[in-house]
């Protein structure tokens, strides 16, 4: 008769591994989106958890009771959620830049539902968000993110999760990097919009008979769209540089 007793020894280890893996499916970009069924996320977490558990040298010593196991699973969940949240900050920066650009273009009232962030955003914010996600996938950011999660099983053993000493410093650095990325993305359009406003004001002063308000909206929208089209090529290096810095900060935590 087939003996299942040796496999039950691995059950607590498997539960802890799945908890750490499932954290990234709760906060990471693309993986945490609501349009991915919860059943699919759970199955992916189990599949990845089985693969990781199979590579472990030995099972961890099970906790004394179920309460300790649940607390341990909460700590493991926090690791995956932290990595996913830190990665998601980059896409929050892209959406923030889109909000600023949309306001200057005058189309901020045309808001749509963004399935990536599950909030209402203007069309420019959604465009930049989707563009950033496409670039993130092209540069292999999703593989780096998952690889970093798998590396934590070597640097932070199961049931050995502690609050890192520099957690707040790293979070502040990540938010600062996201703000800087947002400013870099939005700066060309904002500067050009400032020059356009100055030019239209000068025209209005020199030619009062010309109604600038009737053509100002179209001019601002057309000029901003042109600057955005020219600046798309620069988004790749910006996102790659921001992701490299963010991945180093995340790695410093673990």
pLDDT (tens digit per residue) in 79-116:
888 888 888 888 888 888 888 888 777 766 656 555 55
Whether residue 21 contacts residue 45, with contact meaning beta carbons closer than 8 Å, is answered with: yes
How confident is residue 68, by pLDDT bands cut at 50, 70 and 90?
confident
Whether residue 47 contacts residue 128, with contact meaning beta carbons closer than 8 Å, is answered with: no
Measured torsion, CA atoms of residues 192, 235, 90, 34, in degrees rounded to the nearest 10: 100
CA distance linking residue 24 with residue 44, whole number of Å: 11
Q: What percent of the chain is predicted at pLDDT more than 90?
A: 0
Q: What percent of the chain is predicted at pLDDT more than 70?
A: 86
How confident is residue 8, by pLDDT bands cut at 50, 70 and 90?
low
For the four alpha carbons of 29, 34, 39 and 40, in that order, the dihedral sign comes to negative
Whether residue 90 contacts residue 178, with contact meaning beta carbons closer than 8 Å, is answered with: yes
pLDDT at 245 over 80: yes
What is residue 243's predicted lDDT score, i.e. its pLDDT? 85
What is residue 1's predicted lDDT score, i.e. its pLDDT? 46
Phi, psi (5° rounding) for residue 121? -145, 160
Domain count, the chain: 1
What is residue 89's predicted lDDT score, i.e. its pLDDT? 84
Backbone φ/ψ region at 211: left (φ over 0), alpha (ψ -120 to 50), beta: beta
Q: What is the pTM of this model?
A: 0.76
Q: 94: closest CA among 59, 70, 118, 129? A: 129
pLDDT at 14 over 80: yes
Helices (H), 106-138: 123-138
Domain range for 13:
5-253
CA distance linking residue 147 with residue 154, whole number of Å: 12
Q: Which of 91-100, 180-189, 196-205, 206-215 has the lowest mean pLDDT?
A: 206-215
CA distance linking residue 168 with residue 174, whole number of Å: 10
CA distance linking residue 117 with residue 130, whole number of Å: 11
- Long-range (24+ apart) CB contacts under 8 A made by 199-202 are none
User: Mean of the per-residue pLDDT values for the chain?
Assistant: 79
CA distance linking residue 63 with residue 56, whole number of Å: 18
Query: Which tops the pLDDT comparison, 122 or 140?
Result: 140
């Amino acid at each position: 008769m087939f003996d299942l007793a040796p496999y039950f020894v691995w059950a607590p280890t498997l539960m802890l591994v799945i908890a750490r893996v499932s954290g990234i499916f709760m906060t990471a970009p693309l993986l945490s989106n609501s349009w991915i069924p919860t059943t699919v996320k759970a199955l992916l977490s189990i599949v990845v958890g089985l693969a990781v558990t199979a590579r472990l040298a030995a099972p961890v010593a099970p906790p004394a009771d179920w309460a300790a196991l649940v607390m341990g699973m909460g700590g493991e969940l926090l690791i995956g959620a932290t990595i996913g949240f830190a990665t998601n900050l980059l896409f929050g920066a892209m959406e923030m830049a889109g909000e600023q650009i949309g306001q200057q273009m005058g189309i901020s009232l045309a808001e749509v539902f963004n399935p990536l962030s599950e909030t209402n955003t203007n069309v420019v914010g959604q465009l930049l968000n989707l563009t950033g996600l496409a670039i993130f996938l092209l540069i292999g950011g999703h593989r780096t993110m998952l690889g970093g999660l798998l590396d934590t099983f070597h640097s932070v053993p199961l049931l050995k999760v502690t609050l890192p000493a520099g957690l707040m410093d790293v979070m502040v650095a990540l938010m600062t990097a996201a703000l800087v990325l947002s400013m870099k993305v939005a700066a060309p359009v904002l500067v050009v919009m400032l020059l356009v406003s100055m030019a239209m004001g000068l025209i209005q002063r020199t030619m009062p008979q010309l109604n600038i308000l009737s053509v100002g909206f179209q001019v601002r929208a057309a000029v901003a769209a042109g600057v955005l089209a020219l600046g798309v090529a620069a988004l790749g290096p910006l996102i790659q540089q921001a992701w490299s810095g963010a991945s180093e900060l995340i790695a410093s935590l673990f």
